[in-house]
Structure 1
Amino acid sequence: MSGCLTVVGLGPGDDRFLTPEARKALASAQALYGYGPYLDRVPLRDGQARNPSGNRVEGTRAQVALAHAASGAHVAMVSGGDPGVFAMAAAVCGEIEDGPEAWRALDLRIVPGITAMLAVAAKAGAPLGHDFCAISLSDNLKPWELIERRLDAAASGGFVIAFYNPISTARPWQLGQAFARLGHHLSPTTPVIFGRAVGRDDEAITVTTLDKAAETPADMATLVIVGSPETRVVTRNGQTPLVYSPRMTAPVSA
């Protein structure tokens, strides 16, 4: 019996964001692995084993799931949002690279999902309508100095920037530091979008400006989008502002 490991993106919130391909992969798996709160979003099925684990054991989680699949089982690894964006697909690929030859022979499938950046952008309008990038503000796996260099490069290059992992109890200062650094390159009136828990019952979208962004509450359930010099805000009576980045950019002067 040949095994299979499918890495499944659950999207940002409830199951209306789940793709038909993801739904099918979850239903057909003999065993599920994943971060506990993500597994809680998958309906219970008779005869399907569930293996929850903590937030900082991605490598171990991937190893156990790969070993299970290599034994001949059909296994699904769940991941919030899209599994290829700061998530489990890279962890699985890394363990395959460093692991036994049997893991390289596995049938590996990666099922995409709607990442938080896209979900927040859709709620706000079209802030990603032109060139953009995504940066994780967590320095658990890379030095803060590298994050600072990337912030400088992205802002000076005119990119809209999406911040993943913007702040946590262990990292309460980094988001404010990031805003301060962007202030060296961008106007104080640059639009900033805070999208918290998009796709869930308690979702909230806040549109502010760079000079006031540090005053806006955020947590690990928040995705932050910082506009470029081209990003516009359209006010609408009685409705939330519409934030968009025009598809056409003015020519760069010599």
Structure 2
Amino acid sequence: MAPTFVVVPQWQGSVSPRAMRLSDGAEAIRGDLPSSATREVPVPVEAGDSQGTGIDRFSTLVTVRERLAATLRGSTDAVLTIGGDNGISLAAVEHAAREHPGHLALVWLDAHPALHTPESSPSGGFAGMVLRAITGEGAEGLTLGADDRIPLERVVIGGARDIDPAEADLIQELRIVSLPIGDLDTPDALVAAVLATGATAFYLHLDLNVLDPSVLGGLADLYPFGLSVEALNAAITALRANFELAGATIAGFSPSSPEAASDDLPSILRIIGALTR
């Protein structure tokens, strides 16, 4: 993958107490990216309002989605999109799906499956709805259409360990592939799951909270028993050896201070290296 980067310091999709630090995390990562290969999507300062959709800060999220889509338009190379919160994956996956129509799998590595709709969400935070929106269900303006959505049979969730009852019921009812952390110790199960979708290319959504907090301290949400950087990079390498990388998202970096960001950046840059070398 040619190293092309788009930085989106959006925080409005998160309901974490550390949500506003997500913009700081995006900027910290940007500082270590090559300026000639990096673009930034401006994010409004205002939080935004729900406009009756059941999604907190909906108006700002729609604005950022439109700006990111415009930035990606015309790009034919795989792009690494840096957040910010999970919501940035909506427009990024949409772009990749248009470049790989009918042949794209979505690998969703995240402590949360993000399978809520506005009706089922206990928080109203879009970060908990993004994957469901990518599959075509949600509020108009923050949902992929029929031509661009990724059907659930081409979605592979990995490492989710904070799953609400409504999400657990959906996973069981629709037999959504959801691999626990233990299945990701080696790449074999993940590669096999993507092979089973019949896809020839994959988009990787990576929320850094899939990692163990002992590995990375600057996380918006801390959930124990996560992946190591070594296991994650082995999975990325194996996926790239078997499928075309159509693009990737890195989200969820929320450092408490510039000094704390510096402690975590070497691990994040190792992950970026696995995606771009």
TM over 0.5: no
Structure index of larger Rg: 1
Structure whose residues are more often strand by fraction: 1
Looking at both structures, which has the greater relative contact order when contacts are Cα pairs under 8 Å and sequence separation is at least 6?
2
